[in-house]
A and B are shown apart, each in its own frame.
Chain A
Amino acid sequence: DTAVSQTPKYLVTQMGNDKSIKCEQNLGHDTMYWYKQDSKKFLKIMFSYNNKELIINETVPNRFSPKSPDKAHLNLHINSLELGDSAVYFCASSQGGVLINEQFFGPGTRLTVL
């Protein structure tokens, strides 16, 4: 009965490959997020979707494309992977709105690009 789940947990791949990370939440939330935690440990938001609509799109290379087939899922597809993409990627969800609400995070996906 995991609230926010991500697959895979670990991903090791070669430069230039295309990969996807999947995220699902069973909390009934209407807002989902992708964060990147880099080598300096900062958690930085990449994207946010509210009711399947993109609402936050930070300065992220076009190689990163989020896809939300429904409110419960937000997948992250990365094309032409680069060494600098190596990081831990966290998915999160919240009951959205103008006022901030607690975000629930998934366990993270550690991506290693060789």
Chain B
Amino acid sequence: DQQVKQNSPSLSVQEGRISILNCDYTNSMFDYFLWYKKYPAEGPTFLISISSIKDKNEDGRFTVFLNKSAKHLSLHIVPSQPGDSAVYFCAAYSAGGTSYGKLTFGQGTILTVHP
């Protein structure tokens, strides 16, 4: 049972436009969410995160939105650049209990930004 899902395997966007990557989760205990970016033959690298007490977090061109009632989060990249082409993973975490950094990942969305 996959608790974090990224239902779009891929997304293609023109340079300069907005990229919107979506993520849904089922576990209401999740209270912290992260986005990771992965280039081929490299490990994932942290991009941006959001706590469940917020509904928006912004860092430069990257903004993450959280809709707790819908159990949905999205990553917006504006403007998109060719260097943003990568696989994007959504991850979720529950601070309750004794889970030391136990992240649950989605299966990733391949973003391609065309010049």
Residues of chain A whose beta carbon lies under 8 Å from any beta carbon of chain B: 4, 31, 33, 40-45, 48, 50, 55-56, 90, 92, 94, 96-108
Contacts of A44 in B (CB 8 A): 105
Q: What are the residues of chain A within 8 A of B89 when measuring CB–CB?
A: 43
Q: Which of B42-50, B65-73, B75-83 contacts A (4 or more CB under 8 A)?
A: B42-50
Q: Tell me the interface secondary structure of chain B in the complex.
A: loop
Enumerate 17 A-B pairs (CB-CB under 8 Å) in ascending A order.
A41-B108, A42-B107, A45-B102, A48-B102, A55-B98, A56-B102, A96-B100, A96-B101, A100-B34, A100-B49, A100-B95, A104-B43, A105-B36, A105-B45, A106-B43, A107-B41, A107-B43
Are B46 and A102 in touch, CB under 8 angstroms? yes
Kindly state whether residue B28 has any CB partner on chain A within 8 Å: no
Q: Is B103 an interface residue (CB 8 A)?
A: yes
Q: Contact check: which of A43, A100, A107 meets B101 at CB < 8 Å?
A: A100
Tell me which residues across on chain B come within 8 A of A43, comparing CB atoms: 44, 89, 91, 105
A96 to B101, CA, bound (A): 7
Interface range on chain B: under 10, 10 to 19, 20 to 34, or 35 or more? 20 to 34
CB pair A99–B95 under 8 Å, yes or no, is yes
Chain B residues within 8 Å of A, Cβ to Cβ: 2, 32, 34, 36, 41-46, 49, 87, 89, 91, 93, 95, 98-108
Which chain B residue lies CB-closest to A108?
A: B43
When distances are taken between beta carbons in the complex, the residues of chain B under 8 Å from A48 are 100-102
Query: Nearest chain A CB to B41's CB is how many angstroms away?
Result: 7
Asked if A31 contacts B43 (CB within 8 A), the reply is: no
B-side contacts of A45, CB under 8 Å: 102-104
Give the residues in chain A near B36, CB-CB below 8 Å. 105
User: Is A92 a contact partner of B43 (Cβ separation < 8 A)?
Assistant: yes
| Residue in contact with A103 in the complex, picked from B87, B95, B103, B107, CB distance below 8 Å | B103
- Is there an interface contact between A56 and B42, defined as CB atoms closer than 8 Å? no
Q: Are the CB atoms of B43 and A100 closer together than 8 Å?
A: no
Most buried by A among B43, B44, B91, B101: B101
